[in-house]
A and B are shown apart, each in its own frame.
Chain A
Protein backbone atom coordinates (compact mmCIF):
# COMPACT_ATOMS: atom_id res chain seq x y z
CA UNK A 1 0.00 0.00 0.00
CA UNK A 2 1.50 3.30 -1.05
CA UNK A 3 1.92 6.02 1.52
CA UNK A 4 -0.83 8.61 1.16
CA UNK A 5 0.19 12.27 1.11
CA UNK A 6 -1.18 14.23 4.07
CA UNK A 7 -2.14 17.90 4.22
CA UNK A 8 0.97 18.56 6.33
CA UNK A 9 4.15 18.90 4.27
CA UNK A 10 6.32 18.36 7.35
CA UNK A 11 4.79 14.92 7.98
CA UNK A 12 5.31 13.99 4.33
CA UNK A 13 8.92 15.18 4.43
CA UNK A 14 9.74 12.99 7.44
CA UNK A 15 8.27 9.87 5.84
CA UNK A 16 9.80 10.62 2.43
CA UNK A 17 13.19 10.63 4.16
CA UNK A 18 12.35 7.29 5.81
CA UNK A 19 11.42 5.90 2.39
CA UNK A 20 14.86 7.07 1.31
CA UNK A 21 16.53 5.31 4.28
CA UNK A 22 17.25 8.47 6.25
CA UNK A 23 16.11 9.65 9.66
CA UNK A 24 15.57 13.38 9.55
CA UNK A 25 14.20 15.94 12.00
CA UNK A 26 13.71 19.69 11.89
CA UNK A 27 16.53 21.96 13.08
CA UNK A 28 15.92 25.59 13.99
CA UNK A 29 18.16 27.74 11.79
CA UNK A 30 18.29 30.42 14.51
CA UNK A 31 19.30 28.44 17.60
CA UNK A 32 20.03 24.95 16.27
CA UNK A 33 17.50 23.18 18.49
CA UNK A 34 16.22 19.95 16.96
CA UNK A 35 12.52 19.23 17.06
CA UNK A 36 10.36 16.20 16.54
CA UNK A 37 7.50 15.80 15.91
CA UNK A 38 7.72 18.65 13.41
CA UNK A 39 6.20 22.01 14.26
CA UNK A 40 5.80 25.43 12.68
CA UNK A 41 7.93 27.39 15.16
CA UNK A 42 10.92 26.65 17.38
CA UNK A 43 9.59 26.06 20.91
CA UNK A 44 12.95 27.14 22.36
CA UNK A 45 13.51 30.49 20.61
CA UNK A 46 10.28 31.03 18.64
CA UNK A 47 12.34 31.16 15.44
CA UNK A 48 10.32 30.73 12.25
CA UNK A 49 12.85 29.06 10.01
CA UNK A 50 13.97 25.47 10.09
CA UNK A 51 15.73 22.96 7.91
CA UNK A 52 15.64 19.16 7.79
CA UNK A 53 18.65 17.58 9.41
CA UNK A 54 19.69 13.94 9.11
CA UNK A 55 20.47 12.46 12.53
CA UNK A 56 22.82 9.59 13.33
CA UNK A 57 20.09 7.04 13.99
CA UNK A 58 21.57 6.23 17.39
CA UNK A 59 19.28 6.45 20.38
CA UNK A 60 18.68 5.20 23.91
CA UNK A 61 15.61 3.23 24.94
CA UNK A 62 13.16 5.14 27.15
CA UNK A 63 10.31 2.64 27.40
CA UNK A 64 8.33 0.03 25.50
CA UNK A 65 5.06 -1.89 25.44
CA UNK A 66 4.21 -5.23 23.91
CA UNK A 67 0.68 -5.15 22.52
CA UNK A 68 -1.46 -8.28 22.53
CA UNK A 69 -4.89 -6.76 21.90
CA UNK A 70 -6.12 -6.34 18.35
CA UNK A 71 -6.63 -2.59 18.01
CA UNK A 72 -6.46 -2.55 14.22
CA UNK A 73 -7.04 -5.15 11.51
CA UNK A 74 -3.78 -4.26 9.78
CA UNK A 75 -1.84 -5.46 12.84
CA UNK A 76 -3.88 -8.59 13.55
CA UNK A 77 -1.29 -11.00 12.11
CA UNK A 78 1.60 -9.25 13.87
CA UNK A 79 0.34 -9.76 17.43
CA UNK A 80 2.02 -9.52 19.81
CA UNK A 81 4.20 -6.65 18.66
CA UNK A 82 6.43 -4.23 20.55
CA UNK A 83 6.43 -0.44 20.25
CA UNK A 84 9.47 1.31 21.64
CA UNK A 85 10.00 4.95 22.65
CA UNK A 86 13.59 6.13 22.31
CA UNK A 87 15.56 9.30 22.93
CA UNK A 88 17.85 10.34 20.08
CA UNK A 89 21.45 10.80 21.19
CA UNK A 90 21.62 14.21 19.54
CA UNK A 91 19.46 16.01 22.10
CA UNK A 92 17.96 15.39 25.53
CA UNK A 93 14.19 14.95 25.37
CA UNK A 94 14.13 14.39 21.60
CA UNK A 95 11.97 11.28 21.46
CA UNK A 96 10.70 9.07 18.69
CA UNK A 97 8.65 5.90 18.37
CA UNK A 98 9.45 2.83 16.39
CA UNK A 99 9.10 -0.90 16.12
CA UNK A 100 11.62 -3.30 17.61
CA UNK A 101 12.02 -7.04 17.06
CA UNK A 102 11.38 -8.14 20.65
CA UNK A 103 10.93 -6.75 24.15
CA UNK A 104 13.38 -9.37 25.43
CA UNK A 105 16.52 -7.78 26.76
CA UNK A 106 15.19 -4.22 26.64
CA UNK A 107 16.19 -1.95 29.52
CA UNK A 108 15.94 1.79 29.88
CA UNK A 109 19.06 3.40 28.46
CA UNK A 110 19.88 0.53 26.09
CA UNK A 111 21.64 1.88 23.00
CA UNK A 112 19.73 1.18 19.79
CA UNK A 113 20.24 2.09 16.15
CA UNK A 114 17.64 2.83 13.49
CA UNK A 115 17.13 0.80 10.40
CA UNK A 116 14.15 0.62 8.11
CA UNK A 117 11.69 -2.20 7.48
CA UNK A 118 8.31 -2.70 5.87
CA UNK A 119 5.39 -1.80 8.13
CA UNK A 120 1.97 -3.41 8.40
CA UNK A 121 0.68 -1.49 5.39
CA UNK A 122 3.82 -2.23 3.35
CA UNK A 123 5.26 1.24 3.83
CA UNK A 124 8.74 1.83 5.22
CA UNK A 125 8.92 2.37 9.01
CA UNK A 126 11.68 2.89 11.56
CA UNK A 127 12.97 -0.11 13.51
CA UNK A 128 15.19 0.31 16.55
CA UNK A 129 17.68 -2.53 16.90
CA UNK A 130 19.86 -3.10 19.96
CA UNK A 131 23.43 -2.42 18.88
CA UNK A 132 25.69 -5.48 18.70
CA UNK A 133 28.05 -5.72 21.65
CA UNK A 134 31.21 -5.55 19.53
CA UNK A 135 29.84 -2.45 17.86
CA UNK A 136 29.41 -0.81 21.26
CA UNK A 137 32.92 -1.92 22.23
CA UNK A 138 34.32 -0.25 19.15
CA UNK A 139 32.48 2.94 20.06
CA UNK A 140 33.79 2.93 23.62
CA UNK A 141 37.37 2.45 22.40
CA UNK A 142 37.15 5.18 19.79
Chain B
Protein backbone atom coordinates (compact mmCIF):
# COMPACT_ATOMS: atom_id res chain seq x y z
CA UNK B 1 0.00 0.00 0.00
CA UNK B 2 1.25 3.52 -0.71
CA UNK B 3 2.21 5.63 2.25
CA UNK B 4 -0.29 8.35 3.05
CA UNK B 5 1.03 9.78 6.33
CA UNK B 6 -2.23 8.66 7.88
CA UNK B 7 -4.39 10.81 5.59
CA UNK B 8 -7.60 9.46 4.12
CA UNK B 9 -7.18 8.62 0.44
CA UNK B 10 -9.97 10.97 -0.68
CA UNK B 11 -11.51 14.05 0.84
CA UNK B 12 -14.57 13.20 2.93
CA UNK B 13 -15.84 16.77 2.60
CA UNK B 14 -18.35 16.69 -0.20
CA UNK B 15 -21.27 18.53 1.37
CA UNK B 16 -19.94 21.93 0.41
CA UNK B 17 -19.71 20.84 -3.21
CA UNK B 18 -23.45 20.43 -3.74
CA UNK B 19 -24.29 24.06 -4.75
CA UNK B 20 -21.88 23.73 -7.68
CA UNK B 21 -23.89 20.94 -9.29
CA UNK B 22 -25.13 21.96 -12.73
CA UNK B 23 -24.29 25.63 -12.05
CA UNK B 24 -22.09 25.90 -15.15
CA UNK B 25 -22.54 24.55 -18.64
CA UNK B 26 -20.76 23.88 -21.90
CA UNK B 27 -22.30 26.13 -24.54
CA UNK B 28 -20.20 25.35 -27.60
CA UNK B 29 -17.58 23.03 -29.07
CA UNK B 30 -15.08 23.52 -31.88
CA UNK B 31 -12.39 21.59 -33.71
CA UNK B 32 -9.74 21.87 -36.36
CA UNK B 33 -9.49 19.05 -38.86
CA UNK B 34 -7.52 16.07 -37.48
CA UNK B 35 -4.37 15.22 -39.45
CA UNK B 36 -0.86 13.77 -39.26
CA UNK B 37 0.72 16.99 -40.49
CA UNK B 38 -1.19 20.22 -39.98
CA UNK B 39 1.48 22.39 -41.56
CA UNK B 40 0.61 25.17 -39.10
CA UNK B 41 1.58 26.04 -35.52
CA UNK B 42 -0.29 24.86 -32.43
CA UNK B 43 -1.22 28.53 -31.99
CA UNK B 44 -2.93 28.57 -35.39
CA UNK B 45 -4.72 25.32 -34.50
CA UNK B 46 -5.87 26.82 -31.20
CA UNK B 47 -7.18 29.94 -32.93
CA UNK B 48 -9.22 27.88 -35.40
CA UNK B 49 -10.77 25.61 -32.76
CA UNK B 50 -11.53 28.49 -30.40
CA UNK B 51 -13.28 30.52 -33.09
CA UNK B 52 -15.30 27.46 -34.08
CA UNK B 53 -16.37 26.84 -30.47
CA UNK B 54 -17.30 30.49 -29.91
CA UNK B 55 -19.33 30.54 -33.11
CA UNK B 56 -21.01 27.23 -32.17
CA UNK B 57 -22.15 28.85 -28.90
CA UNK B 58 -23.57 31.85 -30.74
CA UNK B 59 -21.03 34.19 -29.16
CA UNK B 60 -18.27 36.43 -30.52
CA UNK B 61 -14.64 36.66 -29.41
CA UNK B 62 -15.52 39.91 -27.63
CA UNK B 63 -17.65 37.87 -25.19
CA UNK B 64 -14.69 35.72 -24.08
CA UNK B 65 -13.13 36.88 -20.80
CA UNK B 66 -11.33 33.72 -19.73
CA UNK B 67 -9.18 31.05 -21.38
CA UNK B 68 -7.64 27.84 -20.08
CA UNK B 69 -5.53 25.00 -21.38
CA UNK B 70 -3.37 22.12 -20.25
CA UNK B 71 -0.09 21.25 -21.83
CA UNK B 72 2.76 18.82 -22.20
CA UNK B 73 5.34 19.65 -24.84
CA UNK B 74 3.26 20.77 -27.84
CA UNK B 75 0.94 23.63 -26.89
CA UNK B 76 -0.13 27.22 -27.40
CA UNK B 77 0.02 29.29 -24.20
CA UNK B 78 -2.91 31.45 -23.03
CA UNK B 79 -0.86 34.62 -23.45
CA UNK B 80 -0.08 33.69 -27.07
CA UNK B 81 -3.71 32.87 -27.77
CA UNK B 82 -4.95 36.05 -26.10
CA UNK B 83 -2.55 38.14 -28.18
CA UNK B 84 -3.29 36.30 -31.44
CA UNK B 85 -7.07 36.61 -31.07
CA UNK B 86 -7.09 40.08 -29.49
CA UNK B 87 -8.79 38.77 -26.35
CA UNK B 88 -7.01 40.96 -23.78
CA UNK B 89 -7.86 42.05 -21.19
CA UNK B 90 -8.99 38.73 -19.75
CA UNK B 91 -10.32 38.34 -16.23
CA UNK B 92 -9.19 34.71 -15.78
CA UNK B 93 -6.75 32.27 -17.31
CA UNK B 94 -5.24 28.92 -16.42
CA UNK B 95 -2.38 26.93 -17.91
CA UNK B 96 -2.07 23.54 -16.26
CA UNK B 97 0.84 21.19 -16.68
CA UNK B 98 -0.34 17.81 -17.83
CA UNK B 99 -1.53 15.93 -20.85
CA UNK B 100 -3.89 13.03 -20.50
CA UNK B 101 -4.68 13.65 -16.87
CA UNK B 102 -6.06 17.17 -17.07
CA UNK B 103 -8.84 17.87 -19.59
CA UNK B 104 -11.74 17.16 -17.20
CA UNK B 105 -9.94 19.07 -14.43
CA UNK B 106 -9.44 22.17 -16.59
CA UNK B 107 -13.05 22.18 -17.81
CA UNK B 108 -14.06 21.77 -14.16
CA UNK B 109 -11.85 24.71 -13.15
CA UNK B 110 -13.45 26.84 -15.88
CA UNK B 111 -16.86 25.84 -14.53
CA UNK B 112 -15.82 26.96 -11.05
CA UNK B 113 -14.62 30.29 -12.46
CA UNK B 114 -17.96 30.84 -14.21
CA UNK B 115 -20.10 29.61 -11.32
CA UNK B 116 -18.38 32.00 -8.92
CA UNK B 117 -18.54 34.97 -11.27
CA UNK B 118 -14.80 35.20 -11.80
CA UNK B 119 -15.41 34.95 -15.55
CA UNK B 120 -18.49 35.00 -17.79
CA UNK B 121 -17.41 32.99 -20.83
CA UNK B 122 -14.32 30.79 -20.69
CA UNK B 123 -12.80 28.95 -23.64
CA UNK B 124 -10.96 25.76 -22.76
CA UNK B 125 -8.71 24.48 -25.53
CA UNK B 126 -5.97 21.95 -26.23
CA UNK B 127 -3.81 22.42 -29.32
CA UNK B 128 -0.92 20.24 -30.41
CA UNK B 129 0.98 18.94 -33.37
CA UNK B 130 1.00 15.57 -31.69
CA UNK B 131 2.24 13.72 -34.78
CA UNK B 132 4.37 16.12 -36.80
CA UNK B 133 5.84 17.74 -33.67
CA UNK B 134 6.91 16.20 -30.37
CA UNK B 135 5.29 12.77 -30.17
CA UNK B 136 3.80 11.66 -26.86
CA UNK B 137 4.18 8.04 -27.86
CA UNK B 138 7.92 8.12 -27.35
CA UNK B 139 9.01 7.75 -30.96
CA UNK B 140 10.82 11.08 -30.70
CA UNK B 141 13.34 9.13 -28.59
CA UNK B 142 12.60 11.12 -25.46
CA UNK B 143 10.29 10.38 -22.57
CA UNK B 144 7.25 12.60 -22.94
CA UNK B 145 7.17 13.60 -19.28
CA UNK B 146 10.01 14.86 -17.15
CA UNK B 147 9.74 12.82 -13.95
CA UNK B 148 12.33 11.56 -11.47
CA UNK B 149 11.48 7.98 -12.45
CA UNK B 150 12.77 8.55 -15.98
CA UNK B 151 16.36 8.30 -14.76
CA UNK B 152 15.59 4.75 -13.63
CA UNK B 153 13.65 3.76 -16.76
CA UNK B 154 15.49 5.05 -19.81
CA UNK B 155 18.66 3.00 -19.21
CA UNK B 156 16.48 -0.11 -19.78
CA UNK B 157 14.87 1.22 -22.95
CA UNK B 158 11.66 2.33 -21.26
CA UNK B 159 10.73 5.54 -23.08
CA UNK B 160 7.07 5.31 -24.01
CA UNK B 161 3.78 5.41 -22.09
CA UNK B 162 2.87 2.34 -24.15
CA UNK B 163 5.53 0.37 -22.29
CA UNK B 164 4.29 1.46 -18.86
CA UNK B 165 0.67 0.66 -19.73
CA UNK B 166 1.81 -2.66 -21.17
CA UNK B 167 3.17 -3.57 -17.73
CA UNK B 168 -0.30 -2.91 -16.30
CA UNK B 169 -2.01 -4.85 -19.08
CA UNK B 170 0.30 -7.84 -18.56
CA UNK B 171 -0.44 -7.86 -14.83
CA UNK B 172 -4.18 -7.70 -15.56
CA UNK B 173 -3.84 -10.65 -17.93
CA UNK B 174 -1.80 -12.60 -15.38
CA UNK B 175 -4.22 -12.01 -12.53
CA UNK B 176 -7.61 -12.07 -14.26
CA UNK B 177 -7.10 -14.02 -17.46
CA UNK B 178 -7.79 -11.03 -19.70
CA UNK B 179 -7.00 -12.00 -23.30
CA UNK B 180 -5.49 -10.32 -26.32
CA UNK B 181 -8.79 -10.81 -28.15
CA UNK B 182 -10.62 -8.93 -25.40
CA UNK B 183 -8.27 -5.98 -25.81
CA UNK B 184 -8.80 -6.34 -29.54
CA UNK B 185 -12.57 -6.05 -29.10
CA UNK B 186 -12.07 -2.53 -27.78
CA UNK B 187 -10.08 -1.52 -30.88
CA UNK B 188 -12.61 -3.15 -33.21
CA UNK B 189 -15.67 -1.65 -31.46
CA UNK B 190 -14.24 1.85 -31.37
CA UNK B 191 -13.31 1.68 -35.04
CA UNK B 192 -16.93 0.77 -35.81
CA UNK B 193 -17.97 3.99 -34.04
CA UNK B 194 -15.37 6.01 -35.94
CA UNK B 195 -16.76 4.77 -39.25
CA UNK B 196 -19.83 6.88 -38.39
CA UNK B 197 -17.79 9.92 -37.35
CA UNK B 198 -16.88 12.34 -40.16
CA UNK B 199 -14.11 13.87 -38.01
CA UNK B 200 -12.32 10.57 -37.40
CA UNK B 201 -8.86 9.98 -38.86
CA UNK B 202 -9.41 6.21 -39.22
CA UNK B 203 -12.76 5.27 -40.77
CA UNK B 204 -12.01 1.92 -42.41
CA UNK B 205 -13.62 -0.96 -40.48
CA UNK B 206 -11.14 -3.02 -38.45
CA UNK B 207 -11.52 -6.78 -38.04
CA UNK B 208 -10.19 -9.01 -35.30
CA UNK B 209 -7.89 -10.59 -37.89
CA UNK B 210 -6.52 -7.13 -38.75
CA UNK B 211 -5.95 -6.54 -35.05
CA UNK B 212 -4.24 -9.86 -34.33
CA UNK B 213 -2.04 -9.78 -37.43
CA UNK B 214 -0.69 -6.28 -36.76
CA UNK B 215 2.89 -5.89 -35.56
CA UNK B 216 3.87 -5.84 -31.92
CA UNK B 217 4.67 -2.46 -30.39
CA UNK B 218 5.43 -3.66 -26.88
CA UNK B 219 3.80 -6.88 -25.71
CA UNK B 220 0.94 -7.35 -25.01
CA UNK B 221 0.21 -4.29 -27.18
CA UNK B 222 0.02 -4.53 -30.94
CA UNK B 223 -0.31 -1.59 -33.29
CA UNK B 224 -4.07 -1.16 -32.81
CA UNK B 225 -3.84 -1.22 -29.02
CA UNK B 226 -2.05 2.12 -29.25
CA UNK B 227 -3.82 5.36 -30.01
CA UNK B 228 -3.21 7.66 -32.91
CA UNK B 229 -0.92 10.65 -32.65
CA UNK B 230 -2.64 13.64 -34.16
CA UNK B 231 -2.15 17.26 -35.18
CA UNK B 232 -5.33 18.99 -34.01
CA UNK B 233 -7.00 21.36 -31.61
CA UNK B 234 -10.31 21.17 -29.80
CA UNK B 235 -12.09 23.85 -27.75
CA UNK B 236 -15.20 24.18 -25.60
CA UNK B 237 -16.98 27.29 -24.27
CA UNK B 238 -17.98 27.23 -20.59
CA UNK B 239 -20.40 29.70 -19.00
CA UNK B 240 -23.12 29.69 -16.34
CA UNK B 241 -26.07 27.42 -16.97
CA UNK B 242 -28.36 30.43 -16.76
CA UNK B 243 -26.41 32.25 -19.47
CA UNK B 244 -26.10 29.13 -21.61
CA UNK B 245 -29.87 28.95 -21.73
CA UNK B 246 -29.91 32.16 -23.79
CA UNK B 247 -27.29 30.95 -26.28
CA UNK B 248 -27.47 29.04 -29.55
CA UNK B 249 -27.13 25.43 -28.40
CA UNK B 250 -28.93 23.16 -25.97
CA UNK B 251 -26.90 23.60 -22.76
CA UNK B 252 -24.93 20.69 -21.33
CA UNK B 253 -24.38 21.20 -17.62
CA UNK B 254 -21.35 20.24 -15.59
CA UNK B 255 -22.85 18.08 -12.90
CA UNK B 256 -19.58 17.52 -11.04
CA UNK B 257 -15.90 16.92 -11.58
CA UNK B 258 -13.09 15.36 -9.59
CA UNK B 259 -9.38 15.98 -9.85
CA UNK B 260 -7.15 13.85 -7.68
CA UNK B 261 -3.54 12.92 -7.04
CA UNK B 262 -2.93 9.33 -6.06
CA UNK B 263 -0.09 6.82 -6.23
CA UNK B 264 1.36 6.55 -9.71
CA UNK B 265 1.67 2.79 -9.56
CA UNK B 266 5.16 2.76 -11.04
CA UNK B 267 7.23 4.71 -8.56
CA UNK B 268 6.40 4.52 -4.90
CA UNK B 269 3.66 2.12 -4.01
CA UNK B 270 3.88 -0.11 -7.04
CA UNK B 271 2.59 -3.64 -6.59
CA UNK B 272 -0.92 -3.55 -8.01
CA UNK B 273 -1.14 -2.01 -11.45
CA UNK B 274 -4.62 -3.46 -12.00
CA UNK B 275 -6.39 -0.76 -9.99
CA UNK B 276 -5.55 2.86 -10.77
CA UNK B 277 -5.80 6.21 -9.02
CA UNK B 278 -8.98 6.67 -11.06
CA UNK B 279 -10.81 4.41 -8.61
CA UNK B 280 -10.42 7.15 -6.00
CA UNK B 281 -11.47 9.83 -8.48
CA UNK B 282 -14.54 7.76 -9.38
CA UNK B 283 -15.65 7.49 -5.76
CA UNK B 284 -15.24 11.23 -5.28
CA UNK B 285 -16.98 12.06 -8.56
CA UNK B 286 -19.96 9.83 -7.84
CA UNK B 287 -20.38 11.30 -4.35
CA UNK B 288 -20.14 14.84 -5.64
CA UNK B 289 -22.58 14.22 -8.47
CA UNK B 290 -25.07 12.17 -6.48
CA UNK B 291 -24.96 9.72 -9.38
CA UNK B 292 -23.49 6.29 -9.96
CA UNK B 293 -22.37 4.16 -12.87
CA UNK B 294 -25.95 2.99 -13.50
CA UNK B 295 -26.94 6.61 -14.23
CA UNK B 296 -24.35 7.06 -17.01
CA UNK B 297 -25.67 6.73 -20.57
CA UNK B 298 -22.40 7.25 -22.46
CA UNK B 299 -18.78 6.94 -21.25
CA UNK B 300 -15.92 8.64 -23.08
CA UNK B 301 -12.95 6.94 -21.43
CA UNK B 302 -9.29 7.79 -21.88
CA UNK B 303 -8.06 5.31 -24.46
CA UNK B 304 -4.43 6.08 -25.04
CA UNK B 305 -4.39 2.27 -25.18
CA UNK B 306 -7.13 -0.33 -25.36
CA UNK B 307 -6.13 -1.38 -21.88
CA UNK B 308 -6.60 2.09 -20.35
CA UNK B 309 -10.23 2.08 -21.48
CA UNK B 310 -10.68 -1.39 -19.96
CA UNK B 311 -9.07 -0.31 -16.68
CA UNK B 312 -11.35 2.75 -16.50
CA UNK B 313 -14.48 0.64 -17.14
CA UNK B 314 -13.58 -1.29 -14.00
CA UNK B 315 -12.40 1.62 -11.87
CA UNK B 316 -15.55 3.64 -12.66
CA UNK B 317 -17.70 0.69 -11.68
CA UNK B 318 -19.28 -0.36 -14.97
CA UNK B 319 -18.15 -3.89 -14.19
CA UNK B 320 -16.35 -5.60 -11.34
CA UNK B 321 -12.57 -5.49 -10.99
CA UNK B 322 -11.01 -8.06 -13.27
CA UNK B 323 -14.13 -8.50 -15.42
CA UNK B 324 -13.36 -5.82 -18.00
CA UNK B 325 -12.41 -8.41 -20.60
CA UNK B 326 -15.64 -10.45 -20.51
CA UNK B 327 -17.59 -7.16 -20.15
CA UNK B 328 -16.19 -5.84 -23.43
CA UNK B 329 -16.69 -9.22 -25.08
CA UNK B 330 -20.39 -9.15 -24.10
CA UNK B 331 -21.01 -6.14 -26.33
CA UNK B 332 -22.02 -3.94 -23.38
CA UNK B 333 -19.70 -1.15 -24.49
CA UNK B 334 -20.68 -1.14 -28.17
CA UNK B 335 -22.83 1.68 -29.54
CA UNK B 336 -25.99 -0.40 -29.05
CA UNK B 337 -24.85 -1.84 -25.71
CA UNK B 338 -25.87 -0.94 -22.17
CA UNK B 339 -23.03 1.57 -21.74
CA UNK B 340 -21.56 2.75 -25.05
CA UNK B 341 -17.88 3.66 -24.67
CA UNK B 342 -15.97 6.11 -26.88
CA UNK B 343 -18.80 6.75 -29.28
CA UNK B 344 -16.56 8.90 -31.53
CA UNK B 345 -13.93 6.21 -31.90
CA UNK B 346 -11.71 7.64 -29.18
CA UNK B 347 -8.02 8.26 -29.50
CA UNK B 348 -7.71 4.86 -31.11
CA UNK B 349 -9.65 5.95 -34.20
CA UNK B 350 -10.94 9.55 -34.06
CA UNK B 351 -7.71 11.24 -33.05
CA UNK B 352 -5.66 12.28 -30.08
CA UNK B 353 -6.40 15.66 -28.52
CA UNK B 354 -5.51 14.71 -24.95
CA UNK B 355 -9.05 14.21 -23.70
CA UNK B 356 -10.79 17.42 -24.71
CA UNK B 357 -12.17 15.66 -27.79
CA UNK B 358 -13.75 13.09 -25.45
CA UNK B 359 -15.54 15.87 -23.58
CA UNK B 360 -16.60 17.52 -26.85
CA UNK B 361 -18.03 14.20 -28.05
CA UNK B 362 -19.95 13.81 -24.78
CA UNK B 363 -21.41 17.29 -25.32
CA UNK B 364 -22.59 16.35 -28.81
CA UNK B 365 -24.16 13.13 -27.54
CA UNK B 366 -26.00 15.12 -24.84
CA UNK B 367 -27.17 17.72 -27.37
CA UNK B 368 -28.49 14.79 -29.44
CA UNK B 369 -26.28 16.14 -32.17
CA UNK B 370 -23.99 13.15 -32.86
CA UNK B 371 -25.37 12.10 -36.25
CA UNK B 372 -25.31 8.42 -37.12
CA UNK B 373 -23.54 7.51 -33.90
CA UNK B 374 -26.12 9.19 -31.63
CA UNK B 375 -27.04 7.12 -28.58
CA UNK B 376 -30.81 7.32 -28.12
CA UNK B 377 -32.06 9.19 -25.08
CA UNK B 378 -28.61 10.23 -23.90
CA UNK B 379 -29.05 12.34 -20.74
CA UNK B 380 -25.88 11.79 -18.70
CA UNK B 381 -22.28 11.30 -19.81
CA UNK B 382 -18.97 10.56 -18.13
CA UNK B 383 -15.61 11.59 -19.49
CA UNK B 384 -12.36 10.60 -17.85
CA UNK B 385 -8.72 11.51 -17.99
CA UNK B 386 -5.97 8.92 -18.11
CA UNK B 387 -6.29 6.55 -15.16
CA UNK B 388 -3.44 8.00 -13.13
CA UNK B 389 -0.66 5.82 -14.44
CA UNK B 390 2.73 7.55 -14.87
CA UNK B 391 1.99 10.54 -12.62
CA UNK B 392 -0.79 9.52 -10.24
CA UNK B 393 -2.78 12.52 -11.46
CA UNK B 394 -6.23 11.95 -12.87
CA UNK B 395 -9.59 13.67 -13.27
CA UNK B 396 -13.09 13.02 -14.54
CA UNK B 397 -16.31 14.89 -15.22
CA UNK B 398 -20.02 14.12 -15.44
CA UNK B 399 -22.10 16.14 -17.90
CA UNK B 400 -25.89 16.29 -18.22
CA UNK B 401 -28.40 17.40 -20.79
CA UNK B 402 -30.19 20.30 -19.08
Binding site for B on A (CB under 8 A): 6, 8, 11, 14-15, 33, 35-39, 43-46, 62-73, 75, 78, 80-81, 83, 85, 87, 92-93, 95-99, 103, 107-108, 119-121, 123, 125
Contact = CB atoms under 8 A, between A and B. Distances in A.
A64 B167 contact: yes
B270 A95 contact: yes
A137 to B, nearest CB: 25
A65 B163 contact: yes
B157 A72 contact: yes
A65 B166 contact: yes
Contact of A62 (B3, B156, B219, B271): B271
Given A37-B149, A121-B155, 8 more contacts: A11-B152, A36-B152, A37-B148, A68-B215, A69-B139, A71-B139, A92-B1, A120-B155
Contacts of B160: 69, 71
A98 B218 contact: no
A11 B152 CA distance: 8
B11 interface: no
B170 interface: yes
Contacts of A95: 266-267, 270-271
A97 B148 CA distance: 13
B316 interface: no
A76 B7 CA distance: 45
B271 A65 contact: no
A43 B163 contact: no
Nearest to B162: A69
Contacts of B170: 63-65
B273 interface: yes
A83 B156 contact: yes
B58 interface: no
A109 B1 CA distance: 17
A69 B218 contact: yes
B17 interface: no
A125 B157 CA distance: 11
A83 B158 contact: yes
Given A62-B171, A93-B269, A8 B157 contact: no
B168 interface: yes
Contacts of A80: 216
Interface string B124-165: 000000000000001101000000110111011111101100
A99 B156 CA distance: 6
Contacts of B16: none
B167 to A, nearest CB: 4
B273 A93 contact: no
A123 to B, nearest CB: 7
B220 to A, nearest CB: 8
Interface string B254-283: 000000000000111111010000000000
Nearest to B142: A72
A66 B218 contact: yes
Contact of B157 (A15, A45, A78, A92): A78
Interface in B221-254: 221
A99 B155 CA distance: 9
Interface string B1-42: 111010000000000000000000000000000000000000
Interface string B358-385: 0000000000000000000000000000
